[in-house]
Structure 1
Amino acid sequence: MAQPNAVITQRLVHYAQAAAAADWGAKGALYDAASAELQLSKATVMRKIKEVSMTSTKTRKRRSDAGKTSLTRDEAVFISAMLMEHMRKNNKRLLSVEAAVEELRANSLIRAERTDGEGEIFKLSTSTITRALRTYLLHPDQLLAPAPAIHQASLHPNHVWSIDASRSILFYLPAQGRDTGLRTMDYREYYSNKPANVAKVLQESLWRYVVTDHTSGALFVWYVTGGETGGNLAEVLIQAMHPREGNPFHGVPRLAMLDPGGANTSPPFINLCKALRVHVQINKPKNPRAKGQVEKGQDMVERGLESAFKLLRLETLEQINAVAAKWSAWFNATQVHTRHGMTRFEAFMRILPEQLQLAPGIELCRELAVSAPQERTVNDFLEVEFMGQTWDVSHVPGVVVKQKLQIVRNAWRQDSAQAVGMGEDGREVFYVLERKERNEFGFYDDATVIGEGFKRHAETPAQRNMKEVEQLATGTSSVTDAEAARRAQDKGKGPIPFKGLVDPLKRVNDAVLPTYLPRQGTVVAVDNPVANGQVLDQVDTSIALQRIAKLIGRPITREENRFIKGRWPEAMPAEQVDALVAQFTRGADAAHVEAFGGLRAVGM
């Protein structure tokens, strides 16, 4: 190593001191002079000056305009929106900041300029605009950052299960033909972006379901074909709940957490969960962290289990699932979970007896998967009819007559059913219903014997509300007073409803009606019956004969009767009756009777 030259070092120190004291822009000339004198390149001179110079420990003064920008926030929002609009689904930006700014400037939507002390206008550089976007927290990298996460905990093993399905991208199982063995999937043959391969991919692909227990981390693996369907999901849950030899991970969970999707909300799976009182929680879309545990389980199964498939001869789903059962039992029993520091089976074995709900049987669970809840109407006795039996629903909170309830089979007891309700937390609540039994005479066993007692149902919410409404309407404070007020109102003596506070005509009296201008009309021509010699009042002829006989004090003779009926067969004017009475009283015979022709009777 060459020894340092003292003379050169002295000259370097001289130039270093001169550069430190030089004005802005004068250092370049000093460096050029030193390079010419010492016969060194300018870069070497600057490096050696730095080596012989003393570095100041004094903190550099912060610029007065640090943290400020000439780009307004409104313009920054516009630029950010332009960049985000040209973003692909994989978060790849198709438009650079420079291109976005130029396009917005061309459309006169932003200026992105600054003014110096002399009033000259300069366009902001791309780097300045990028820094401004980050200052305003509007840069796409900041906008696309994940939302803050929240730690979640479960209470005990079998409290929460996460279920997820994934198509195996490595293997397939031929759906038909002699070749039924497990095969490695050829990328060129099963490339899913080719439309002709879509059906083949769905039918022959091997689908992997992974179930994880949130507390212990224990996982269950089950393979199916035919895609992600409700039937496959229900079968996976059934297999996971029932005991397996050498595997303690089983039982019915309290809550099942899944991603949104048609299969995850299909009737077979939902029906099974309702019957087993399993609450189904569907995660929000585009929220992969909600099921991070089962996603990691999928990765461990793919790398740990499926990597061995290629070295085995597997020809059926039964063989594949048998290998999966062996591998999962080994994995759960030997691999330590980093969260609780135990193996997964060791953590699961801490489950308490009341926390381990045993499934009712594989075949019954399959029946429950196709047994949908049925809507039933509550009758007057607070009962419902279901499966040909009568069930008591009087203990269901808030039940009223004529209400419709969702009734489903009870997987835990064959002699009971369940009513599905909604709790205060928005989750489904299940109420066990007891079947009502009849005696040999057809009476229910819990019926009240006449003359030996009196029973009635507890008041329903509707009945309590009715009493409250009655007290408000009658202006009373008790049920007895309300009934007394109603009885008085029935007799026309009670108080006016609502104590007269409600004026039913207030809207009518307070309404300001418009004033209507008179409209020109046309007079209707009506015939005057009096002017035309017509009498409107008519009396039946038979009745008129009886009235005349009574008034003249004798029976009507045959000739008078013949004359009157011949003249007025059906009816005669009422005034004609008085005229005939006057004539018959004076002794005129029927031949000389004058008919009434106007408003008065004509005398002899």
Structure 2
Amino acid sequence: MRKRVPAPVAEVIVNTGQSVASAARGERGALVAAAAQATGRSRATVYRHMRAMSVQPARRQRADAGTTSVTREEALAISELLMAAMRKNNKRLMTVADALQVLRYDGSVRCERVDPATGEVSPLSAAAVERALRLYGVHPRQLLRPAPTTEMQSLHPNHVWQIDASLCVLYYLSNGQAVGDGLQVLDADKFYKNKPKALERVEAERVWRYVVTDHYSGALFVHYVMGAESALNLAESFIAAICQRTVGGQADPFHGVPLMVYMDRGAANTSGMARNLFRRLQVRQEAHMPGAPWATGQVEKAQDIVERKFEAALRFQPVHSLAQLNDSARCWARHFNASAEHSRHGRTRTDLWLTIAPEQLRVAPAPELCRELLTHEPVARRITQTLTVEFKGREYDLRPALQQLGDVMVGEKLLVTYNPYATASACIVEVAEDGSERLIAIPQVERNDAGLRTDAPVFGLGFAAMPQTAADRHRSEIARRTYDAATDEEAERARKAKALPFGGRIDPLRQAREAVLPTPIPKRGTPLQPTVQAPAAAAEPRLLTHFEATRELTALGVAMNPERVSQLRAWHPEGVPEDQLATLQHRLTVRAGLRVVGGVAANE
């Protein structure tokens, strides 16, 4: 703030300024020196006050103002070098003078001026070159200015939410082994970039802060998690924000499922788990392009508000657990939303959020169902003959949604999922060509104690025909076309009268009768000479020697002894036919089992 000049001093300076303006050359210095001595101020201060308290004449503009000897190509070359030598944090590492020296030595630029009177060529100074860069609009400071942005609007509370995660740089939750367990301050003397191991030691205990803001009202919600920015932590924070909750025994008004969430393109925000949760809750997810933090400026500012207004107060109050930290954060957020006036609309955030209409407030399902939706995928279910589908042990009716579903047929399959906003219904999922999903609600079938549908017609009191499916319509259309009938009744009468389909116009054998086939060249054959041949005589069995026969019978299980060999020779003195081996086996075995007792043969 500029110091106020006392009135007596100001009077002396104003009078001196008027005298200096009309004084001759060489007298101005003495007048200024006298004023400095009278006011007790330096000559420079007197000159400064004189300029501030008098109207200065317009400064005469140079004749060559707005022109430069630097060509645009030279300006671009210098700007390219300056921008290429810049750090990622936009810190300039090279000055214009350094870039000019490098490019002049390289021969890329000259940056010279020619005296029109003498023709003398002299190099331009770094300041002149810098002015040329500004003249062409390629100075690094000009190029680093942000691009114009478009201001967006939301239509009502819970239309658009913004979500952002930030590492809590001031605190970490101790594991209880250190002195003063609970929320600990990251002491700058112990934790900084030159002591990476100190940070690694508490890395798993660092606290992450998720902030959710309603774009329309500015209402905010804070949720703290441990670990890192992950899809699971994002989901837990989002579920905590949308579900109804009580703070200090009173309901927090800020809740419900938004129509759209807007966030950055972090890996956790665009993960399959997060996208699946948003899709199942019928929330549109949008992510801004990298390098555009102003796109979610509201939630970025909310992060700053939480850090300065809530976390600063934690130094004076011990926090021993993550649950206690979240309870304190929700208590503070509820009070802040209800008491702090928003600069944009001039009302408290809660006051404006409460203007939400009933159809705009989508009440979130139970947290347990929300967590199941993280990994839930629609399942394929077959349509029964009563136009129902089964899902999670319950039966759902397709008839009320037939007009929306379009062509459905008995036996076909549909994708079914939860309806998170009505537990007594499910949703049919229709996937468009671009991958977007359309959800159609179908009610649950109610049955009585006897297992019968409560909405079914009663015998003797009425009958309700099932609505036509696509198969029914196609079947009727084909029947009418088959019998050239205008109505289904005419087609049925023609079918019962055994009328010719298509009026006899279609002859399936016509093609065979009228076909002109190529005439094949006759093939030469060989006459068949039938002959009667007598059946060939059976071959004589091979004659085995007595030794060969004995060996074969032994292989068949007959215990051959000298007595049996003698018997074999007696039966077949010339040799044993091979086909008699089975007979001999039986004869020798039976005879061995008989003995004579009292003139009668008996089994041994």
Does the Cα contact within 8 Å between 1:271 and 1:373 map onto a contact in 2? no
**1:161 partner SS:** strand
Change (3 A) 1:341 1:377: same
Structure 1 residue 353: Cα displacement: 1.2
In structure 2, distance between residues paired with 1:403 and 1:66:
81
2:422 paired with 1:413: yes
In structure 2, distance between residues paired with 1:379 and 1:102:
83
Change (3 A) 1:317 1:337: same
In structure 2, distance between residues paired with 1:86 and 1:459:
74
1:258-312 Cα deviation digits (max 9, x unpaired)? 1111211233332221121111111211211111111111111111111221222
Change (3 A) 1:56 1:306: closer
1:73-96 Cα deviation digits (max 9, x unpaired)? 111111111100011122110011
**1:132 partner SS:** helix
In structure 1, distance between residues paired with 2:315 and 2:446:
61
Change (3 A) 1:129 1:220: same
Structure 1 residue 382: Cα displacement: 11
**1:249 partner SS:** coil
Change (3 A) 1:337 1:417: same
Spell out the pairing of 1:289-368 with structure 2 (5 A cutoff): 289-368=294-373
Does the Cα contact within 8 Å between 2:278 and 2:284 map onto a contact in 1? yes
In structure 1, distance between residues paired with 2:57 and 2:471:
84
1:509-542 Cα deviation digits (max 9, x unpaired)? xxxxxxxxxxxxxxxxxxxxxxxxxxxx9975xx
Residue 138 (structure 1) aligns with: 138
In structure 1, distance between residues paired with 2:89 and 2:350:
38
1:387-446 Cα deviation digits (max 9, x unpaired)? 68788686568989999987543212343124264699x97653435679999999xx99
Residue 76 (structure 1) aligns with: 75
Residue 285 (structure 2) aligns with: 280
**1:310 partner SS:** helix
Residue 259 (structure 1) aligns with: 264
In structure 2, distance between residues paired with 1:492 and 1:79:
87
**1:265 partner SS:** coil
Structure 1 residue 365: Cα displacement: 1.4
Does the Cα contact within 8 Å between 1:192 and 1:201 map onto a contact in 2? no
In structure 1, distance between residues paired with 2:276 and 2:352:
30
**1:141 partner SS:** helix
Residue 225 (structure 2) aligns with: 224
Structure 1 residue 453: Cα displacement: 9.0
Residue 463 (structure 1) aligns with: none
In structure 2, distance between residues paired with 1:422 and 1:131:
57
Residue 202 (structure 1) aligns with: 203
TM-score normalised to the size of structure 1?
0.61
Does the Cα contact within 8 Å between 2:210 and 2:222 map onto a contact in 1? yes
Query: 1:244 is matched by which residue type in structure 2?
Result: R
Query: 1:413 is matched by which residue type in structure 2?
Result: A
Residue 128 (structure 1) aligns with: 128
Spell out the pairing of 1:491-506 with structure 2 (5 A cutoff): none
In structure 2, distance between residues paired with 1:400 and 1:65:
81
Does the Cα contact within 8 Å between 1:160 and 1:255 map onto a contact in 2? yes
**1:237 partner SS:** helix
In structure 2, distance between residues paired with 1:61 and 1:310:
60
Change (3 A) 1:544 1:248: closer
Residue 430 (structure 1) aligns with: 439
Query: 1:77 is matched by which residue type in structure 2?
Result: L
**1:304 partner SS:** helix
Structure 1 residue 157: Cα displacement: 1.1
Change (3 A) 1:119 1:332: same
Spell out the pairing of 1:380-419 with structure 2 (5 A cutoff): 408-414=417-423, 415-419=425-429
Structure 1 residue 378: Cα displacement: 11
Change (3 A) 1:440 1:398: closer
Which consecutive residues of structure 2, in runs of 5 or more, have no partner in the other structure? 1-8, 13-18, 34-41, 458-464, 474-501, 512-522, 534-604
Change (3 A) 1:545 1:366: closer
**2:154 partner SS:** coil
Change (3 A) 1:394 1:380: farther
In structure 1, distance between residues paired with 2:532 and 2:509:
59
Query: 1:326 is matched by which residue type in structure 2?
Result: C
Does the Cα contact within 8 Å between 2:396 and 2:426 map onto a contact in 1? no
Query: 1:150 is matched by which residue type in structure 2?
Result: T
Does the Cα contact within 8 Å between 2:408 and 2:469 map onto a contact in 1? no
RMSD over equivalenced CA pairs, Å: 4.8
Residue 160 (structure 2) aligns with: 160
Residue 214 (structure 1) aligns with: 215
**2:297 partner SS:** helix
Change (3 A) 1:545 1:403: closer
1:433-464 Cα deviation digits (max 9, x unpaired)? 5679999999xx99xxxxx899353999xxxx
**1:203 partner SS:** helix
Structure 1 residue 149: Cα displacement: 2.2
In structure 1, distance between residues paired with 2:184 and 2:61:
66
Residue 89 (structure 1) aligns with: 88
Change (3 A) 1:409 1:128: same
Query: 2:99 is matched by which residue type in structure 1?
Result: A
Identity of aligned residues (%): 40
Residue 187 (structure 1) aligns with: 188
Spell out the pairing of 1:167-186 with structure 2 (5 A cutoff): 167-175=167-175, 177=177, 180-186=181-187
Query: 2:426 is matched by which residue type in structure 1?
Result: S
Change (3 A) 1:188 1:430: farther
**1:432 partner SS:** strand
Residue 534 (structure 1) aligns with: none
Does the Cα contact within 8 Å between 2:209 and 2:223 map onto a contact in 1? yes
Change (3 A) 1:76 1:397: farther
Query: 2:366 is matched by which residue type in structure 1?
Result: G
**1:171 partner SS:** strand
Structure 1 residue 369: Cα displacement: 2.0
Residue 151 (structure 1) aligns with: 151
**1:263 partner SS:** coil
Spell out the pairing of 1:97-112 with structure 2 (5 A cutoff): 97-112=96-111
Change (3 A) 1:266 1:171: same
Change (3 A) 1:397 1:286: farther
Structure 1 residue 225: Cα displacement: 0.8
Spell out the pairing of 1:516-531 with structure 2 (5 A cutoff): none
Structure 1 residue 235: Cα displacement: 1.2
1:13-72 Cα deviation digits (max 9, x unpaired)? 44369x9xxxxxxxxxxx9xxx9xxxxxxx99xx99xx9xxx998756644432111111
Does the Cα contact within 8 Å between 1:252 and 1:358 map onto a contact in 2? yes
Deviating more after overlay: 55-64 vs 72-81: 55-64
Change (3 A) 1:119 1:329: same
Residue 561 (structure 1) aligns with: none
2:468 paired with 1:455: yes
Query: 1:71 is matched by which residue type in structure 2?
Result: V
**2:262 partner SS:** strand
Structure 1 residue 244: Cα displacement: 2.4
TM-score normalised to the size of structure 2?
0.61
Residue 508 (structure 1) aligns with: none
Does the Cα contact within 8 Å between 1:274 and 1:408 map onto a contact in 2? no
Does the Cα contact within 8 Å between 1:382 and 1:400 map onto a contact in 2? no
